[in-house]
């Protein structure tokens, strides 16, 4: 049966952009400001994918070997101050730009649906020149409920006036898959990303991409 997708929704971190290097730099600089030990790249990378609060808390606990009992808002302010200055340096994964350009050229409605805060999301999208591709961008601080709740997917779909069966979600995490499943739309996963603490093998996935470029075949 031929696919009739008219809209594709994309996660940001670990799906379109490799944001790990900048997130890790910001975390280690935050730890340094708080007089904590900095952590290896691989350790922090394991904590990426479940939101900034999770990333900060797990990093502090790992650095201090104890539960995070300092003023969390102080740590978050330090992180945001540092990350805001470097977030735009994140690079897209291979084939992302050319695939988005192809999809847009084929009259596909495109949206970015991310739990990432808006100030960081828009920095990355705008400074990479990707804003021209998206009909709609919704961020974590603009949602009543964040992924894995289906709220954001349902909201964007209604804004674009697209049916469930005409919509595809592309992501890398449990949050993306569960949100798509609960919203009743098909889900495609990328083979990279940041889902290290929790396996996605037991979840329902409609398409497993080998490269981002495989999206071209799915819509034709």
CATH number at residue 64: 1.10.150.240
Residue that finishes a domain, picked among 67, 89, 111: 89
Structure confidence by residue, pLDDT tens digits, 169-211: 999 989 999 999 999 999 999 988 876 556 667 789 999 999 9
What is the domain extent for residue 39?
Answer: 20-89
Residue 136 lies in a domain: yes
**Are residues 124 and 167 both part of a single domain?**
yes
Structure confidence by residue, pLDDT tens digits, 92-125: 999 999 999 999 999 999 999 999 999 999 999 9
**Are residues 104 and 212 both part of a single domain?**
yes
CB atoms within 10 A of CB 100: 22
**Are residues 115 and 84 both part of a single domain?**
no
Residue 1 lies in a domain: no
Q: Is the peptide bond before 148 cis (omega within 30 degrees of 0)?
A: yes
- Residue 215 and residue 179: Cα distance in Å, rounded? 20
The yes-or-no answer on residue 35 being catalytic is: no
**Are residues 13 and 54 both part of a single domain?**
no
Q: What does the pLDDT average to over 122-146? A: 95
Residue that finishes a domain, picked among 89, 114, 140: 89
Residue 69: the pLDDT is 65
Residue 50: the pLDDT is 80
Structure confidence by residue, pLDDT tens digits, 149-177: 999 999 999 999 999 999 999 999 899 99
**Are residues 84 and 94 both part of a single domain?**
no
Residue that finishes a domain, picked among 89, 124, 150: 89
CATH number at residue 101: 3.40.50.1000
**Are residues 79 and 121 both part of a single domain?**
no
**Are residues 211 and 102 both part of a single domain?**
yes
What are the tokens at 148? 């894995």
Could you give the number of structural domains in the chain? 2
Which position among 11, 18, 172, 176 bears the catalytic label?
A: 11
Residue 48 lies in a domain: yes
CB atoms within 10 A of CB 49: 24
Residue 159 lies in a domain: yes
Residue 194: the pLDDT is 75
**Are residues 123 and 14 both part of a single domain?**
yes
**DSSP code per residue over the chain:** ------EEEE--BTTTEE-HHHHHHHHHHHHHHTT-----HHHHHTTTTS-HHHHHHHHHHHHHTS---S-HHHHHHHHHHHHHHHGGG-EEPTTHHHHHHHHHHTT-EEEEE-SS-HHHHHHHHHHTTGGGG-SEEE-GGG-SS-TTSTHHHHHHHHHHT--GGGEEEEESSHHHHHHHHHHT-EEEE-S-SS--SS--TTS--SEE-SSGGGHHHHT-
Beta bridge partners of 9: 111, 169
pTM as predicted:
0.92
- Residue 181 and residue 127: Cα distance in Å, rounded? 32
């Amino acid at each position: 049966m031929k696919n009739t997708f008219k809209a594709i929704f994309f996660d940001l971190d670990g799906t379109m952009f490799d944001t790990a290097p900048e997130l890790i730099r910001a975390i280690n600089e935050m730890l340094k400001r708080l007089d904590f030990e900095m952590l290896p790249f691989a350790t922090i990378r394991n904590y990426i994918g479940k939101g900034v609060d999770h990333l900060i808390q797990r990093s502090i606990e790992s650095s201090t070997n104890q539960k995070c009992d300092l003023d969390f808002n102080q740590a978050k302010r330090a992180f945001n101050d540092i990350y805001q200055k470097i977030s735009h340096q994140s690079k897209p994964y291979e084939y992302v730009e050319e695939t988005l350009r192809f999809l847009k050229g084929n009259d596909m409605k495109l949206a970015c649906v991310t739990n990432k805060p808006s100030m960081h999301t828009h920095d990355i999208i705008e400074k990479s020149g990707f804003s021209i591709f998206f009909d709609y961008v919704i961020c974590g601080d603009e949602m009543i409920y964040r992924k894995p709740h289906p709220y954001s997917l349902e909201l964007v779909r209604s804004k674009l006036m697209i049916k469930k069966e005409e919509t595809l979600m592309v992501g890398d995490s449990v949050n993306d898959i569960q949100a798509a499943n609960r919203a009743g739309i098909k889900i495609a996963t990328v083979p990279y990303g940041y889902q290290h603490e929790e396996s996605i093998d037991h979840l329902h996935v409609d398409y497993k991409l080998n490269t981002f470029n495989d999206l071209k075949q799915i819509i034709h």
